[in-house]
Amino acid sequence: MKRPWPSVAASYLNYAESGVLVLIGAVLVILAVLLLGTGVIALIEATQNHTVGHEAIEILNSVLLVMMTMEIVYTVAISLQSHTLVAEPFLIIGTIAAIRRMLVITATSVDNENNPAVFGNTLIELGLLAAMVIALAIAIWILRHSKTLKSVEPLPVVAHDDEGGAHGSGHAE
């Protein structure tokens, strides 16, 4: 029996999606390795030049970028396995990105201390980023908590008669 053409087309599109996702994953892994290599080289040079204190934020920035990239790779892998889009990795990526931005702002805010308007905007941005990190953390907690609630079997419902006694589901009458 011949399958209808929309079914065949959907099958080919699934193969194409999987192929593109594999290529995206490979590019992201190569990018992460190159970024990590650059960070390691910067760390070695900073150690040799005794400038780790000055270079620490840039090195940390590149390491956090690697973490974000690998979290995206994880998301791509999940998409390949299940053909569904999962929210939690994106929440984690957003959290890492916000923390990364907070670190950069904190490191460069000393340059803006003499300009009250710019410094005030910097503090507002830091506050908003902190609120975003808290909101994303709560969203991740809710997502994980809802998964555990779904895996727990509900308790049986016990009905009460007019005399206050229980009856139904497993109780002797």
pLDDT in tens, the chain (173 residues): 677 878 888 888 888 988 999 999 999 999 999 999 999 999 999 999 999 888 888 888 899 899 999 989 998 898 888 877 788 888 999 999 999 899 888 887 777 778 888 888 989 999 999 999 999 999 999 999 887 777 666 666 665 555 555 555 444 44
State the angle between helix axes of 52-82 and 88-108 in degrees (0 to 180), rounded to the nearest 10. 170
Count of alpha carbons within 13 angstroms of residue 45, beta-carbon side: 10
Give the per-residue pLDDT at 112. 74
Give the per-residue pLDDT at 116. 85
Give the per-residue pLDDT at 69. 93
Give the per-residue pLDDT at 54. 84
Residue 145 in tokens: 């908590």
First to last CA, the chain: 57
Is residue 75 exposed (0-12), middle (13-18) or buried (19+ Cβ within 10 Å)?
A: buried
Can you state the percent helix, strand and coil of the chain, rounding each to 5? Answer: 80, 5, 20
Give the per-residue pLDDT at 173. 41
Phi and psi at residue 170, in whole multiples of 5°?
95, -10
* pTM over cut 0.85: no
